Amino acid sequence: MSRTRSLKESFGYAFAGLKEAVSNEPNFQIHVSIGISALVFAMILEFSKYEWLLLSFTIAFVLILELINTVLEAIVDLVSPNIHPKAKIAKDVSAAAVLMAAFWSLIVGTVLFLPKLLQ
């Protein structure tokens, strides 16, 4: 069953979750720091609107997957406090998704930044 919540309450829960991730998830902190650095660097290099769009979506994709990974790990820990092979698979595959996104973000970053740096 779903309870009716006000828009203010819904946003409050969302911001509480974001605060939790920023405060207590080291990998999320790393991704946020790298993302902010990339945005600052893009500003210095005067990215076009399409470069900004691609960079922003790439950063958001990595951050969103990191948040989903955090959620999955918390749920797995809750339902399976003891070590279980299926729990390990769930956590490992979720972490692999973040790793793949981070890897591809490096490729996108290279395509976006390298030509500007070589000019």
Task: Kindly report the number of other CB atoms within 10 A of residue 56's CB atom.
Answer: 15
Pair 109, 58: CB distance under 8 Å: yes
Catalytically active residues are 66
